[in-house]
C-alpha cells in the first residue's frame, strides 16, 4: 500500500462521514465476515428526485477494521443520488475507488461494504435481510450492532461512537 493510500484510509477512518444509526431508514442491511469477525450495518433513506427514487442518505455502523470504516465512509457519500439499482451495480472496487486501489489483503474489507449495501437494497439477494418499502413507509431501524453483541464470557468494553448528525 502506498503512503498516499495509507494516509487517505487513515484520514477517512479517523473522521468517517455518515457514521451512526439512522432513524426512519427505508432499508437496513447487516453483514458479517466469519474469517475476520468484522460486521457492518448500513441504513439507507430514499427521496424522490425528478421522478426517480434515489438514495438521499446512507449511514453505517461497524465493528470492522480501519479500511472497512474508510470504505463505508466514502461509499455512503458516493451512492447519494443514485437509484437502488445503480448503487447495486457498483462493486466493492468502485465503492472504494476514492481511496485508490486496495491491496489484495484489503479487498474483502470493501466487499463487506458492498455486501451490506446489497443486503439493504436487494431483497432477493441471498444476503439480504431487509426490503425496500415504498416511499413514505419506513422500516424499523432495528437494534444497533452493540445491542446484538452478548458477551459469552468475561468483560467486553464497547465504545459507542456518536450518531451521525441529522441533515
Ligand atoms: Fe475484516 Fe477489514 S479485516 S473487514
Residue 157 in any domain: the answer is no
Residues 6+ apart with CB under 8 A from 51: none
Catalytic member of 2, 23, 36, 143: 36
Sort 110 into a burial class: Cβ within 10 Å, 0-12 / 13-18 / 19+: buried
Pocket test for ligand 1, best of 32, 64, 95 (most atoms within 8 A of CB): 64
- Tell me if residue 65 is catalytic: no
Q: Is residue 61 included in any domain, yes or no? A: yes
Residue from 75, 109, 112, 128 carrying the catalytic annotation: 109
Identify any residues that bridge with 39 across adjacent strands, giving them in sequence order.
32, 63
For the CA atoms of 64, 69, 75, 80, what is the dihedral angle to 10 degrees? 110
Q: What's the pLDDT score for residue 122? A: 86
Q: What is the DSSP letter of 83?
A: B
For residue 64, the enclosing domain spans 3-139
pLDDT for 153 equals: 46
109 flagged as catalytic:
yes
Helices 3-14 & 66-78 angle (0-180, nearest 10): 80
- How many structural domains are present in the chain? 1
36 — phi, psi (to 5°)? Answer: -110, -10
Q: Tell me if 63 sits within 8 A of 145, measured CB to CB.
A: yes
Distance CA 43, CA 144 (A): 11
Grid cell of 91 as nine digits: 462493486
Q: Which atom of ligand 1 is nearest to the CA of 66?
A: 2
Q: Is residue 153 part of a domain?
A: no
- CATH code at 55? 3.90.1010.10
Note the pLDDT of residue 112. 94
d(CA 73, ligand 1 centre) in Å: 14
Q: Is residue 37, in this structure, part of any structural domain at all?
A: yes
- The Å distance, Cα 99 to ligand 1 centre, comes to 16
Alpha helices in 53-139 (DSSP H): 66-78, 84-88, 92-95, 107-121
Residue-level pLDDT, tens digit, the chain, 167 residues: 677 778 888 888 899 999 999 999 999 999 998 888 899 999 999 999 999 999 999 999 999 899 999 999 999 999 999 999 999 999 999 999 999 989 999 999 999 999 999 999 986 766 544 333 444 444 445 556 655 554 444 444 444 445 555 55
Distance 140 CA to ligand 1 centre (A): 27
pLDDT value of position 77: 97
Amino acid at each position: 500500500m502506498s503512503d498516499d493510500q495509507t494516509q487517505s484510509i487513515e484520514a477517512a477512518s479517523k473522521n468517517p462521514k455518515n457514521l451512526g444509526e439512522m432513524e426512519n431508514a427505508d432499508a437496513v442491511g447487516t453483514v458479517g465476515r466469519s474469517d475476520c469477525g468484522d460486521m457492518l450495518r448500513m441504513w439507507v433513506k430514499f427521496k424522490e428526485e425528478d421522478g426517480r427514487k434515489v438514495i438521499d442518505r446512507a449511514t453505517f455502523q461497524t465493528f470492522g477494521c480501519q479500511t472497512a470504516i474508510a470504505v463505508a465512509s466514502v461509499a455512503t457519500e458516493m451512492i447519494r443520488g443514485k437509484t437502488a439499482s445503480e448503487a447495486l451495480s457498483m462493486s466493492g472496487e468502485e465503492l472504494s475507488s476514492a481511496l485508490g486501489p486496495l491491496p489484495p489483503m484489503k479487498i474483502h474489507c470493501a466487499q463487506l461494504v458492498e455486501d451490506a449495501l446489497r443486503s439493504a437494497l436487494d431483497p432477493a439477494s441471498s444476503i439480504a435481510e431487509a426490503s425496500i418499502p415504498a416511499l413514505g413507509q419506513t422500516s424499523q431501524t432495528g437494534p444497533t450492532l452493540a445491542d446484538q453483541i452478548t458477551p459469552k464470557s468475561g468483560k467486553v468494553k464497547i465504545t459507542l461512537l456518536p450518531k451521525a448528525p441529522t441533515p
